[in-house]
């Protein structure tokens, strides 16, 4: 890991350090554009061809149904079922607290405004599979989609060699009541959900992580279709703020946990203790040596760095500039700095709170903004699966009270028809009042 001293860094040095938006390059873009075009034109046939080309699987059908889902789910280990059940319960409990109903407000006498929540009707969940089996991602996306009340949940996951999906993903589908899983992966799955094929329905919004091809596909379809995406995505990252109360063993484990995601992942340590930094470096080397994914993690560690800071306030200043996906406060004094957090996807407070907890089972959602998008995006939540529609109702007294204001504003903007829409109502109201008085 590279090492820096904060006081030696210029503003441009800091900006260079925090800049990590992945450049996918024209080559990936061109390949993804070709894949999208092929799916758009040839639908199911293109998906089967891509399954043969990329997944090395010949598919007769592009989906598995409820019977096969139940069969696959029945074969997983009992301890895994129990673990998934705990995660499901916690994620459900946390997201249910996000259900809200807003009060109506009378903005002017006789003018009432309010918002009502409606679920997005059809959502698409992309769940990576194959060698990277991610039942946790299925939980993180499927649970809030169900709570929100989405009418149709379209699930795509890459086919395994057996032309089906992993049993763990099938078990989550069973828990969620999902009765069909489509066997499509990569950019082609995103394209299928964006445009629709003979088998896969077109959806209104696509959720889920993926490699550079999936990320590029989501970026392209958002700009070329009316299908939305959850958020921009990039390589996974963690930033750790630590002081003399931190445990170097824990800090090293947290850095490596993030770095084993992929070679372009990144771990950053900001610490005001030179001894903690030295011990953490030693622990990183020791723990890295025995990791099954050590080659991947090692390359990500080369992409990572540590900064010696004067104090936690200085660390927080750097962190807010970085805007991390995951922010760990590895200090007993986390409550003293937590209110200074401005930009972060998800925060892990205290020395006994690993980022892994949020990845799997504490209840918060692990689908988070990366690459500094935490400056403007939140992580996935119940709100991600709903729309909030504004309503207003104006009574007779309301149009009398507010109408003249609208007429003036419409007139100064030169929109006579807008003014007339109010004026005719005011005229009718006056005529009705006059008739009532004559009676």
CA-based nearest residue to 183, from 331, 310, 61, 40:
61
Q: Single out the catalytic residue among 38, 325, 355, 366.
A: 325
Helix (H, G, I), strand (E, B) or coil at 111: strand
The answer to whether 326 is a known catalytic residue is yes
CA distances in angstroms from 344 to 78, 189, 270, 307, listed in the order given: 36, 29, 15, 18
Concerning whether 295 is annotated as a catalytic residue, the answer is no
Asked whether 160 and 185 are in contact (CB, 8 A), the reply is no
Q: Which of 95, 261, 326, 366 is catalytic?
A: 326
Q: How far apart are CA 257 and CA 242, in angstroms?
A: 17
101 contacts: CB under 8 Å, gap ≥ 6: 117
Measured in residues, the chain has a length of 439
145, 175 Cβ separation under 8 angstroms: no
Structure-derived torsion over alpha carbons of residues 289, 290, 295, 299, reported in degrees to the nearest 10? -50
Q: How far, rounded to the nearest angstrom, does the alpha carbon of residue 268 sit from its chain's CA centroid?
A: 21
Q: Phi and psi of 106, rounded to 5°?
A: -90, 105
> Helices marked H in 196-336 — which ranges?
212-224, 248-259, 274-288, 294-302, 312-322
DSSP string covering 396-425:
HHHHHHHHHHHHHHHHHTT-HHHHHHHHHH
Burial of 46 (0-12, 13-18, 19+ CB in 10 A): buried
How far, in Å, are 267, 344, 346, 365, 397 from residue 360 at the CA level?
Answer: 19, 19, 13, 9, 55
Q: Left if phi > 0, otherwise alpha if psi is -120 to 50, otherwise beta: which for 289?
A: alpha
Supply the residues annotated as catalytic. Answer: 325-326
């Amino acid at each position: 890991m590279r090492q820096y001293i904060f006081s030696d860094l210029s503003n441009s040095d800091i900006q260079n350090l925090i800049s990590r938006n992945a450049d996918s390059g024209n080559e990936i873009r061109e390949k993804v554009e070709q894949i999208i075009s092929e799916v758009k034109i040839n639908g199911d046939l293109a998906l089967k061809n891509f399954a043969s080309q990329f997944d090395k699987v010949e598919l007769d059908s592009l989906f598995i149904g409820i019977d096969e889902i139940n069969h696959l789910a029945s074969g997983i280990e009992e301890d895994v079922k129990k673990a998934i059940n705990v995660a499901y319960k916690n994620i459900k409990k946390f997201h249910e607290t996000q259900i809200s109903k807003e009060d109506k407000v009378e903005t002017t006498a006789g003018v009432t405004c309010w918002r009502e929540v409606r679920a997005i009707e059809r959502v698409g969940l992309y769940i990576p599979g194959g060698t990277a089996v991610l039942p946790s991602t299925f939980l993180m996306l499927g649970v809030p989609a169900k709570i929100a009340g989405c009418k149709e949940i379209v699930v795509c996951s890459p086919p395994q060699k057996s032309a089906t999906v992993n049993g763990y993903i099938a078990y989550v589908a069973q828990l969620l009541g999902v009765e069909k899983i489509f066997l499509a992966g990569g950019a082609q799955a995103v394209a299928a959900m964006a445009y629709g094929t003979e088998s896969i329905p077109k959806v209104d919004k696509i959720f889920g992580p993926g490699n550079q091809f999936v990320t590029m596909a989501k970026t392209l379809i958002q700009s070329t279709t009316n299908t939305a995406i959850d958020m921009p995505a990039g390589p996974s990252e963690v930033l750790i703020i630590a002081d003399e109360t931190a445990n170097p063993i824990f800090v090293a484990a947290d850095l490596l946990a993030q770095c084993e995601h992929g070679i372009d992942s990144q771990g950053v340590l900001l610490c005001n203790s030179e001894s903690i930094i030295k011990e953490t470096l030693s622990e990183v080397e020791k723990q890295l040596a025995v990791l099954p994914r050590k080659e991947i993690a090692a390359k990500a560690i080369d992409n990572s760095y540590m900064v010696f800071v004067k104090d936690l306030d200085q660390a927080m200043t750097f962190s807010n500039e970085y805007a991390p996906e995951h922010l760990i406060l590895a200090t007993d004094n986390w409550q003293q700095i937590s209110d200074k957090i401005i930009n972060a996807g998800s925060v892990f407070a205290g020395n006994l709170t690993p980022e892994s907890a949020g990845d799997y089972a504490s209840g918060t959602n692990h689908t988070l903004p990366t690459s500094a998008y935490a400056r403007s995006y939140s992580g996935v939540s119940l709100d991600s699966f709903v729309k909030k529609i504004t309503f207003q109702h104006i009574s007779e007294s309301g149009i009398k009270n507010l109408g003249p204001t609208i007429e003036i504003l419409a007139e100064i903007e030169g929109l006579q028809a807008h003014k007339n829409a109010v004026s005719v109502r005011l005229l009718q109201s006056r005529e009705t009042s006059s008739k009532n008085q004559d009676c």
